[in-house]
Each structure stands twice: as C-alpha cells, then as structure tokens.
Amino acid sequence: MQVTGKRRRVSAVAAVALAAVVFGGLTACSDEDSGDTGQSAAEEPAADAGDASESASPEEDAPAADAEADEGGESGGLHAAGEAVSYAGGVDITVSAPEEYTPSEYAIGHTEGNTAWKVTITVVNNGDADYDTDFLLASARAGDDGVTAETIYDDPVGLGFGGALPAGQTATADFAFDAPADAATLSVQIEEVLELDSAPATWGLEL
C-alpha cells in the first residue's frame, strides 16, 4: 500500500510538471501573437498616412489644370477689316470692309427701308489637304443692339465659294447683309459648322 501511494505522488508531481510546461508554452505563444498584433497595428497607421498623402496629390494639382483650361479658352475678341484669322488645317480667312450694295429685283433677304452691305470674304488654304468651303457659315449682326442682319441671296452674291479648295489656293466670295438704315456697325461671324472644337471668329466693321 505504501508503494502504491508513493507511485501516486510521483505521478501527481509529473502531471503538475507537465501542466506547467504546457501552460508556459501557451503563455509564450500568446506573448508572440500579442507582439505581432502590436507591430501590425503600429504599421497600419503609417500605411494609411501614405495613402492619404497620395490621395491629396490630385487635389493639389487640380488648380494648375484649371488654370491651363482657362488659358486655352481665351476669346480672340473682334477682328478688324482685312485682318486674317487662322482656322483649323492651316486655313486663313479675312473679311473686307463693307460697301453699300443695291440688291437686284430678284434678291432674297432684303427688306425695303433697310440698307444692304456687301463684304468680300477671302479663304487661303495654307494646309496640305483640300479644304471644303461648303461648310463655312457666314452670318451678321448690326448696330449696338446686335439685331440679326439677314443674309441676302442675289446671284452670285451670297452663293459661297464653290466646294473644295486645293492646298495652296485662294478663294473669294461676296456676301451681302441687310441692316437697319441707322446701324453704324456690322459684326460678321464665320463659323466652321463641322468643326465642333473650332470657335467662330467675328469681325467688327464700321458702316
């Protein structure tokens, strides 16, 4: 009976020792996990700060981009008679000073009591390809109020340039506009109707 009790005590001591070893191992693992967690937590804010810095960069660059856009959109204002204006494809256009014009009895667009004014529009193709003049639109406004000056069609006046203009060539055409008798100015605008990115140019002419 004494031997059996001694064996039980030895077994109990061994069990306690084994439990201590196991418990100690678990504690060490827990400490290592805690250390890894703490290190990861410390690294994450730094990464977030970097992301925040990168996301702020496009906003800082935005004012510069806006400034470039504003600069590219400046208006050319009014052009004087005979002043050449460059259009897309190396094309230069000028509008002459206006001359009073007497429409024929077959003219369309003239109202009795108004004064008809004729201008000569010149197109110079300095580009490398043909230029289609059929898509040039000429219009006008008269006086300080900017009332529409109707285009007068009176063959050959108002019929345009006649199609494609080869590279290196020049074309001229006469256009007439109907203005109130007391109008002192005529603003002639020429627009490329198929060029969506091309801004029309306007010539300010004295009558």
| Residue 150 to residue 142: CA distance in whole angstroms | 10
Amino acid at 65: A
Tell me if residue 30 falls in helix, strand or coil. Answer: helix
- CA atoms of 205 and 201, how far apart (whole Å): 13
Q: For 44-97, how does the pLDDT look when each residue is reduced to its tens digit (9 = 90+)? A: 444 444 444 444 444 444 444 333 333 322 346 999 999 999 998 899 999 999
Neighbours of 185 (CB within 10 A): 16
Taking the whole predicted model, whether its pTM rises above 0.75 is answered as: no
Which residues are CB-neighbours of 21 under 8 A, at least 6 positions away?
none
- For tokens 């197109």, the residue is 123
pLDDT tens per residue, range 2-45: 333 433 333 433 443 433 433 344 344 444 444 444 444 444 44
> What CATH code is assigned to 78-206?
2.60.40.1240
Can you tell me the distance from the alpha carbon of 126 to that of 128, in angstroms, rounded to the nearest whole number? 7
Q: Which residues pair with 176 in a beta bridge?
A: 118, 152
